[in-house]
Structure formats: structure tokens, C-alpha cells
Amino acid sequence: MADQGMSEDSDRLFAHGEAAPGSFRFDAKVARVFDDMIRRSVPGYATTVAMSGWLAARFAQPGTACQDLGCSLGATLLACAEAMTEAGIGPVELIGVDSSKAMLDRCRSRLEPELGGRQLTLIEADVRTVELRPSSVIMLNWTLQFLPPADRAPLLTRIHDALLPGGVLILSEKIIDTDPGAQQLAESLHADFKRSQGYSELEIAAKRSAIEDVLIPETLEAQKARLLQVGFATALVWYRQLNFASLLAVKA
């Protein structure tokens, strides 16, 4: 399943099996290999990115903004631009926010030549405090899970406030299952997925330790309930692979 060919952008960060618990950061070393890391770690990543672009084009309102919070290297912003162009959607400002300068530097050099004239604004900021512009689409793919749990509802409330009527939030997260048996099975299958992508036992164990208490997953039920609590009219689960899921929340 995996492409075993290694290049300088291949993720070998944990190949020596050394990582202090909770030490994972989105620094320059991670930014360099991030594309490879996320594709080989998140089952369904490529589908989620492509579908996020398609959903963004479906709900984008010309003359408004489409924001990606925790945009990393800009894969989803690029998918949005392509899907909007294909659907003939008029001017929509693409805004990417990330607190990692290393990610944003790479995002800028990667996206600018590809956007075919679409307006792009990249902002280095914490999503918890950045001013959110009025938008028809906001995306939050695998970023909420890195915030302290107490900070999540306030951010989702601000996102709901920033969305225009009919606007949507596209949310993707690692999730845990309420049923311990199902949770254990999903975790074990996820480890198998990583093995199939060429990660060794050492790498899987070291990454698990590095990310411990840095990425704090919640149940799908808790995610859905909170979206409704902060004011969204509907929250639809539109995709799930093992312990990763994506939701679409619509503002009335």
C-alpha cells in the first residue's frame, strides 16, 4: 500500500524511536515533512481534503470569505480554489490562519503560483484570538483537537458568529468511540493502517508518546452536541474512516 521510496520530504522524524511524552510541535522539522506525515497517518486524508474543497464550493457565497483555520501547508485551500474555479464560483477571498510560521512560509510558496488570480490572505495567529472575518465557509480540519478542551466551545461560538446565514463549518477530527471495544478495535486498525504506510513499530510508538496530551480527541457525540449547543442548526457527519471523522455544520 505504501510508497516506500524515501525523499528528503519523507517523514522519518520518529525513525529512531525517541520522543519525550507530549513533545510534538508544529515546528520547522514537522512542516518540512508534514504532507507525507498527514497522508500516511490520517486514513482518508486525500478524500477529506478533496471533499472539503467540493463542499466549500457548494456553500461559498461570491463576495465573501472562505477561511481555513489551522491551514498548515494549504492543501485544503488549494482544493477549495480548484473546486470553486471548476464550479464557476466568483470572487471568494481565501484566508488561511496558522500559528506555525514554518507551516505558513511553506504554504505561501506552495499556493501563490497555483491560485490563478484568486485572492489569498495568510495570517500567522492563534485561532483562539484571531479576528474572524464574516465568511460563508470556515474549515477546521484536525486543528480543534490540539486546543485545550476548555477553549473549544468559545472558538466554535466565534466561528458560528462569523458565519453568514447559510454559511457552513467543515470540521474534521480524530475521534474516540463511546464503546471501549470499538475504540480498541479502531486504535488497533489505525496502527495497522500506519504499518501499511511504511511506519515501523518504533515510529508508531514514539509518535504516540510525542502526541500524548497534545492531541486530545473527543467522541463524535460530544462534537455534534457542542456544534448544536453553540447555535448551528444542523450537524451532519459526512465522512468517517476508522477513528477520524468529518462533520458539516450549517448556520441557519
Binding stretches for ligand SAM (CB under 6 A) = 26, 38, 49, 70-72, 75-76, 97-100, 103, 126-128, 141-143, 146-147
Q: Nearest distance from residue 49's CB to ligand SAM, in Å?
A: 6
Query: For residue 124, which amino acid is it?
Result: E
By beta-carbon proximity to ligand SAM, the closer residue of 10 and 99 is 99
Which CB atom, from 143 or from 223, has the smaller least distance to ligand SAM? 143
In angstroms, give the least distance from the CB of 95 to ligand SAM: 13
Question: What's the Cα-to-Cα distance from 244 to each of 208, 238, 240, rounded to whole Å?
Answer: 16, 11, 6
Q: Whole-number minimum distance, CB 160 to ligand SAM, in Å?
A: 18
Q: Containing H/E element for 11?
A: none
| Nearer of residues 63 and 104 to ligand SAM, judged by Cβ | 104
Q: Quick check: 56 and 137 in contact, CB under 8 A? A: yes
CA distance 191 to 113: 36
- Residue 199 or 228 having the CB closest to ligand SAM: 199
Cβ proximity to ligand SAM, 124 vs 185, nearer residue: 124
Measured between alpha carbons, how far is residue 133 from residues 2, 48, 95, 200 in Å? 40, 24, 9, 43
Start-to-end CA span in the chain (Å):
42
Nearest-approach distance from CB 144 to ligand SAM, in angstroms: 9
- Minimum gap (Å) between residue 124 Cβ and ligand SAM: 9
> Cell for 252?
441557519
Distance of closest approach, residue 181 Cβ to ligand SAM, in angstroms: 28
> Is residue 66 within 8 Å of 60, Cβ to Cβ?
yes
Question: Cβ neighbours of residue 85 under 8 Å, at least 6 residues apart?
Answer: 116, 118
CA atoms within 13 A on the CB side of 43: 20
Smallest distance from the beta carbon of 123 to ligand SAM, in angstroms? Answer: 9
Pick 136 or 143: Cβ nearer ligand SAM: 143
Residue nearest to ligand SAM (CB): 70
Question: Quick one: which of 155, 135, 138 has its CA closest to 147?
Answer: 155
**Of 22 and 63, which has the nearer Cβ to ligand SAM?**
22
- Say what the alpha-carbon torsion angle 158, 161, 164, 167 is, to the nearest 10 degrees: 60
Whole-angstrom Cα distance, residue 80 to residue 8? 28
